[in-house]
Amino acid sequence: MGLDKDNAIKVDPYSRTTVDNIWSVGDVTNRMPLTPAAIMEGMAFAATCFGNKPTTPIFDKVCFISTHCAAVHGHCMLPSFEYFID
């Protein structure tokens, strides 16, 4: 299986590795190491392999919102938005 310069698994846009019938998604590919991205990659893989609809992940649609203060102080998301919007 091919690895890139960071030792991540090389994949094509459809998450196929350099080995036939081996696919890879998530952090091991080093494309976007976020849970929402891994979920999207898995959904694209399922659509491609099991739904017969070739689908690639669209990384510009992944949203991850965090602020240092929200993480440190433990605000849940909705109050955090209200806290930081004012």
Q: What is the pLDDT of residues 18-77, one digit of tens each?
A: 999 999 999 999 888 888 888 889 999 999 999 999 999 888 766 666 555 544 444 455
Provide the whole-model pTM. Answer: 0.67
Output b/e per residue, 41-77; b: 16+ Cβ within 10 A. Answer: beebbeebbeeeeebebeeeebeeeeeeebeeeebee
- Looking at residue 25, which CATH number applies to its domain? 3.50.50.60
Helices (H) and strands (E) in the chain, counts: 3, 0
Q: Reduced to 3 states, what is the DSSP secondary structure of residue 59?
A: helix
What is the structure's pLDDT at 64?
62
Residue 31 domain boundaries: 1-86
Count of domains observed in the chain: 1
